[in-house]
């Protein structure tokens, strides 16, 4: 920097200097006034602290009839404080939570030549939306699903909690029958799902009451969802019965029918044998009617004995079920089910046994946090009219990785829907083969 670039000191005249001195004097006076106010506040605080200390000492010295210290909040005060805090939390929380999932499916079917030629097929499985929430004692739960071939209501109910142990629901509710919430571990459920006795939903009322170690469920189900004889349904519902022939046979006859006015009762006891072992034995009963286009077509009943056992990382599910549809039409040989945009067929009476075992393994493999290895076995037998038994075995593993959940299933079955067969094959169709498939279901849940 040259001398020509150096800054030049400013020059003030006498009037400017006098003005600056006056401003400084004013600032000094303001500072002294603030210091005086601060000293007064400190003195006042010191006096208040002394008074509070004296009051605390006096309160500690008081003992009148062993009454609690009045300066401490009573249980009523604590309850009021908690209610206020809960009310604030409820106000700040969203009353209805929105969730859902997007799922894709890869399937390689050994019994399908086209599937073998293309080394399997990758398809869009499901897009679903969930609504769940609670305002005071009123609860909402609903789920809508979109498939390539249909849209369905999975469930949709409004509930009221009369007490912490007693809940009543109305709407499209889960049928409380057998092991809950599921009687299986795999994507394909157990064979009882395809007979309408696992993860089934219908329109009506249901209630759950917990009494200590006991859980009691009951339901009155007016009719299926949707109310009719079609196939646009998540649940496997009876939509009619036929004479047992193949639908392509010119002598084939079918009569529409749907379950109505079904009553269900279920009881389950939780026994914690020790820190590692918990047993949940239970019984389920069901009774209802079938109604056709204009008349009653018969009655039906079912019952089941079931057990869930948890030991350390192991889980066991066992169930025995027996059901019978007493139809007025003597020509009725098979039930017709409607779901997933197609019809399947089943016996009018049968017995069933299911067994599923699973082992949960926590891991730390990148985003993967849990593996669940399982094997589910089902058998439906002692069917009416000597119809061949059904069996299915699913070996697989489910994987949890953050919001991603995946099933890897190897399925073997005979006379099993979705595995190249039916619970009740057409009369004269011959001995069904054992069919196999490999399936991967991948979903993102939010």
Tell me the two tokens of residue 10: 């400013």
> What is the domain class of 100-445 according to CATH?
mainly beta
Other CB atoms within 10 Å distance of the CB of residue 103: 19
Sheet strands (E) in 83-137: 96-109, 121-135
Say what the pLDDT of residue 316 is: 98
Say what the pLDDT of residue 406 is: 98
Say what the pLDDT of residue 27 is: 63
Q: Which runs of consecutive H residues, i.e. helices, occur in 218-358?
A: none
The per-residue pLDDT for range 75-127, each reduced to its tens digit, is: 444 465 566 556 555 555 568 999 999 999 999 999 999 999 999 999 999 99
- Smallest Cα–Cα separation from 190: which of 360, 392, 346? 392
Compute the half-sphere exposure of residue 137: CA atoms within 13 Å on the CB side of its CA: 10
What letters, b where the CB count within 10 A reaches 16 and e where it falls short, cover 374-406?
Answer: bbbbbbbeebbeebbbbbbbbebbbbbeeeebb
The per-residue pLDDT for range 10-62, each reduced to its tens digit, is: 444 565 556 666 666 666 666 676 666 666 656 666 666 656 555 555 554 44
Confidence of residue 184 (pLDDT cuts 50, 70, 90): very high
Tell me the two tokens of residue 241: 């019965």
Q: Which whole number is the average pLDDT over 367-385?
A: 98
Say what the pLDDT of residue 181 is: 97
What is the percentage of the chain residues whose pLDDT exceeds 70? 79
The per-residue pLDDT for range 310-362, each reduced to its tens digit, is: 999 999 999 999 999 999 999 899 999 999 999 999 999 999 999 999 999 99
Q: Which whole number is the average pLDDT over 387-403?
A: 98
Q: Are 414 and 433 in contact (CB under 8 A)?
A: yes
The per-residue pLDDT for range 248-290, each reduced to its tens digit, is: 999 999 999 999 999 999 999 999 999 999 999 999 999 999 9
Domain ranges, ordered by start, for the chain: 100-445
Average per-residue pLDDT for the chain = 88
User: What backbone phi and psi angles, to 5 degrees, belong to 10?
Assistant: -70, 155
Question: How far apart are alpha carbons 317 and 357 in whole angstroms?
Answer: 6
């Amino acid at each position: 920097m040259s001398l020509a670039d150096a800054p030049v000191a400013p020059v003030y005249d006498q009037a400017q200097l006098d003005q600056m001195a006056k401003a400084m004097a004013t600032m000094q006076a303001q500072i002294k006034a603030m210091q005086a106010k601060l000293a007064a506040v400190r003195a006042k605080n010191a006096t208040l602290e002394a008074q509070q200390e004296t009051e605390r000492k006096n309160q500690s010295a008081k003992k009148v009839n062993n009454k609690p210290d009045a300066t401490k909040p009573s249980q009523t005060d604590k309850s009021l404080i908690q209610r206020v805090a809960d009310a604030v939390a409820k106000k700040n929380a969203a009353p209805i939570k929105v969730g859902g999932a997007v799922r894709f499916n890869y399937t390689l079917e050994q019994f399908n030549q086209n599937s073998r030629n293309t080394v399997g097929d990758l398809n869009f499985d499901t897009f679903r939306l969930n609504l769940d929430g609670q305002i005071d004692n009123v609860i909402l739960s609903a789920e809508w699903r979109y498939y390539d071939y249909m849209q369905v209501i999975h469930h949709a109910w409004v509930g009221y909690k009369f007490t912490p142990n007693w809940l009543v629901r109305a709407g499209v509710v889960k049928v409380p029958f057998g092991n809950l919430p599921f009687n299986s571990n795999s994507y394909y459920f157990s064979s009882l799902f395809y007979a309408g006795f696992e993860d089934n939903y219908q329109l009506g009322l249901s209630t759950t009451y917990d009494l200590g170690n006991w859980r009691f469920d009951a339901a009155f189900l007016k009719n299926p969802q949707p109310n009719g004889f079609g196939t646009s349904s998540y649940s496997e519902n009876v939509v009619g019965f036929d004479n047992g022939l193949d639908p392509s046979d010119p002598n084939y006859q079918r009569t529409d029918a749907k379950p109505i006015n079904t009553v269900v009762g279920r009881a389950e006891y939780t026994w914690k044998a020790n820190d590692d072992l918990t047993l949940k034995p239970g019984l389920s009963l069901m009774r209802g009617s079938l109604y056709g286009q204009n008349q009653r077509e018969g009655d039906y009943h079912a019952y089941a004995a079931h057990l869930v056992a948890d030991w350390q990382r192991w889980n066991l599910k066992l169930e025995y079920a027996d059901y019978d549809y007493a139809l007025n039409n003597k020509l009725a040989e098979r039930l017709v089910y409607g779901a997933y945009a197609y019809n399947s067929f089943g016996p009018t009476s049968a017995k069933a046994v299911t067994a599923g075992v699973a082992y949960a393994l926590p891991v730390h493999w990148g985003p993967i946090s849990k593996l669940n290895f399982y094997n589910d076995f089902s058998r439906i037998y002692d069917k009416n009219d000597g119809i061949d038994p059904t069996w299915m075995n699913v070996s697989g593993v489910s994987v949890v990785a953050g919001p991603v959940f995946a099933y890897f299933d190897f399925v073997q079955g005979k006379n099993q829907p979705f595995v190249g067969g039916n619970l009740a094959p057409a009369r004269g169709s011959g001995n069904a083969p054992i069919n196999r498939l490999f399936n991967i279901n991948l979903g993102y849940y939010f």
